[in-house]
Structure formats: C-alpha cells, structure tokens
Amino acid sequence: MSLEEEVGYIDEVILEEHRSVLAEVPNQGRLNRAMCCICHARIRHMRVHCCVNHLCWFACPASACWGCEAPTNKWARHLALSHNSVDSSDLHFSTAHFPYFCVLIDILFTLLQSLLRLHAPADLLTYVLDQSLFPAVSGNELPFPDLVVSALRLYCQRASLPEPDSFDISPPNHLLSITHWRILSKILATLPNSSQLSVKECKSTLADPVLLSNTSPDYIDSHFHLDALLSRTRHHNFEDLESDVDHQGIHLTHLICNYVFPSSWSKRARQVGECAKLYSTVGVHPHQVCSSRVMDDHIVHIEDSLAGGGFVALGEVGLDFTSVCKHGNCRNKRLCQEEKFRSQRLFLRRVVPLAERFDKVLVLHTRDREDGSAAEEVRQIIVDLGLCHLRIHRHCFVGSVGELKR
C-alpha cells in the first residue's frame, strides 16, 4: 500500500524518508472544496493543510511527530521508518509529553499576545470572541481528542485556571479553546505574512525538552502576593497552604512574596514562617499610595524593614494609571484620581533611592491604558534620579521591543 493510500487522499506535500510526495488531485470538484482562510487555496483536507503549511508544529498535537517536532499525518509505521526505528511510541503524543506541551502553549500565548498587541495573554479569548474568530461546528464533531483534553486539564491545574466540563470552540468557552487549529487558523488570517511566519516557526528554546517531560521540573515564582493568597484560601501561613496543595509534579525551589499592602505588613512574619525557600519584598502598591502624611509613615516603615534585614528587594512600587477614586463621598472623582496620580509620582521619587541606599533589587509596577505612558514616565523618573544602574525587576512586562531597549 502506498503512503497516499494509507494516509488518505491529501492535497499537500508531506514527507516520506526525506522525499517530497505530492498526491495528485483531479480538477473535478475542486471548486466545491473549502477555501483556506489563510492562503485561500481550495483544500479537501483542511486540518492537514493548515497544520502542515501554516500553523505551529504542535497545533494538532495528536498528529504531530514529537521526535522531530514537526506536523505530520503519518501513521505509526511511517513515523518509525522515517526515524529508523521499529518503535514509534516516543514519537506520538502521550502523557509523557504533557509538561512540554504546557510550556509550548505558554510560548504560543505570549507570542500571540505580542502580535495582536493585547495587554495580557488572558485577553486572547476576549479578542477571539469580539472578532468572531471561531468556526461553525456541527454538534457531532468533538473539538479536541480525549488525550489533548487531558493535557489541557493539566495546564488548567498548573496555571490555576478553571476547568470547564468541555473545551468548546463554537464559540470558545475557555482560553485554552483557542489552541484548536480551526481558531488558530482564523487568528492567523488576520495577521500579516511576517507574523504568520512567526507563529509557524513557534518553538521552545529548551535544549532538551525530553528532560522536561521525564522529570519533575523546578520552578521559581518571582512574584506573588502571599497575604492575598492566604486570605482567599483561608490558610494560616505558607506551610499550611503548601501542605494542602496538589503540586501536580511541580517543584517550587524559590518563591518571592511581595508585601505591598500596608494592612498586611504586620502579618508577614506569621505568614512566611520559617520556610527557607520563601523570600520577601516590601513596598507599596500604587493603588495604595495616599496622602503625604500617610506616605511619610509608609516610607519610614520601608526604611526600617530594609535596614532590619529579611527582605531581598524594594517593591513593588511604581505608577498605575488605572487607579480610580473609591471614596464614597468624593464630589469630583476626576480631580481625586489626578491627585492620586500626583501622589504616586511623588512617592516613587522618594522611595526609589532606598533601593540604592540599601543595595536592593527594585521591583517596578507600571500599568496604564495600554499606551505606554506609565512605563515611559517611570523610566524618566529613574533617569532623573540618576539611578539607571539599579538592578530592576520589571514586574509583568507587556511593553514593546523598543520600550525594552530603552
């Protein structure tokens, strides 16, 4: 039996032992085939066409070759032959590849967020829904194979995302629904050719992805709010929380908790406890910056905390132009908001020099209405203070390449 007969009737080039094979198709009926939304070719087997010619290699994980990281529609025997092996078990998608697949999804989400100029990867679902970038699918078609669904559920557990009963694609009901090849194809159709190529070539930079799949990976959490997490989960301290969590094979070696809410400062010692892998920072979240009198008290507390030890960084501090007035009796919310922004700028100028004084890393928080104004103003303040040499952790960076270079 020939490759074409075994794989099926296809229109596009596939590989067999490094040869290009093109299955010839008669002209009759070509116009009745569906049109590819990306290249506008008339295609009979759309999934194979999109996965082989347009999408990243893992867009259809169940039909990809996980040995050479390439899209394919080959059966097990042909995969084994192309790799000079009688065993193709390591080449087909399996539970052993789930952790690596989760990493690849993160890379894809970050790339799409950048190409679409969204504020965060979580905005991808909203973008797809707003632009109606999803197909009309009959009720008899399952969006994802069972094995892929299991991998998506693992991603949900690791990313603390809610798990739906099913991952629908018409319309998508979950962020992970947009990883379906039909939706990815429609997203690509809205992008210029250069961006389409970036998605096609999307890969991991891991030197040995198999190592990630076969061992329990080590992770560092560089930024989280332990006080808020304990409040939501109703745990007493970090040790209490960790003993009650299913780690799903993830090994957290170091964690940095940011104490930026003044109401929680006095709770830090109890909440952190004696955990050796837990490190703390101290600062004031821009939303929490208030009047000059309160500001003085906050700066004194930060100075005392950094001088006393136990903190690895100053922050997070910065500017947040999404802050709103929450005073119930405020007569003019606009003026109140402008006063809050002035207080943020003053506080930032006063607190940043403490990072140099106590030789600490500076954790920056910048957020605006996606125009880059907050980040540029924070950068200018640091330049004005002559503190460009500081070690800086730019928390949740979503800016452009140009901003990064500046």
Instruction: Show me where the domains of the chain are located.
Output: 1-215, 216-405
Tokens for 348, please give them.
């930032």
- pLDDT of 43 reads 85
The whole-angstrom separation of Cα 108 and Cα 361 is 30
Q: Which of 157, 171, 152 is nearest to 109 (CA)?
A: 152
- pLDDT of 325 reads 72
- Write out residues in the chain with pLDDT < 70, as ranges: 1-32, 73-89, 137-142, 204-217, 246-250, 326-329, 398, 401
The whole-angstrom separation of Cα 362 and Cα 356 is 9
- pLDDT of 83 reads 65
195-231 pLDDT, tens per residue?
Answer: 999 999 887 655 444 444 444 557 788 999 999 999 9
Q: Which amino acid is at 387?
A: L
Tokens for 43, please give them.
């295609």
Q: Which of 16, 35, 13 is nearest to 25 (CA)?
A: 13
Q: Which of 99, 71, 164 is nearest to 125 (CA)?
A: 164
Who contacts 13 (Cβ-Cβ below 8 Å, separation ≥6)?
Answer: 20, 21, 22, 52
Contact assessment for residue 361 and residue 394, using Cβ atoms and an 8 Å cutoff: no
Q: Which of 281, 279, 266 is nearest to 238 (CA)?
A: 279
The whole-angstrom separation of Cα 310 and Cα 278 is 10
- pLDDT of 119 reads 78
Query: In the chain, what is the straight-line distance between the N-terminal and C-terminal CA atoms, in Å?
Result: 60
- pLDDT of 213 reads 44
- pLDDT of 96 reads 87
Who contacts 124 (Cβ-Cβ below 8 Å, separation ≥6)?
Answer: 109, 112, 113, 116, 118, 175, 178
Helix (H) or strand (E) holding 140: none
CA torsion sign for 192, 198, 202, 206 is negative
- pLDDT of 18 reads 36
Tokens for 325, please give them.
């007035």
Residue 208 CB neighbours (<10 A): 8
Question: How far, rounded to the nearest angstrom, does the alpha carbon of residue 398 sit from its chain's CA centroid?
Answer: 11
β-partners of residue 42 are 35
Q: Which amino acid is at 174?
A: H
CA 312, 313, 314 angle in degrees (round to 5)? 145
Question: How far, rounded to the nearest angstrom, does the alpha carbon of residue 106 sit from its chain's CA centroid?
Answer: 5
The whole-angstrom separation of Cα 183 and Cα 132 is 10
Domain at 216-405, CATH from 3.40.710.10, 3.40.50.1820, 3.20.20.140, 3.40.50.300: 3.20.20.140
Tokens for 359, please give them.
């030789």
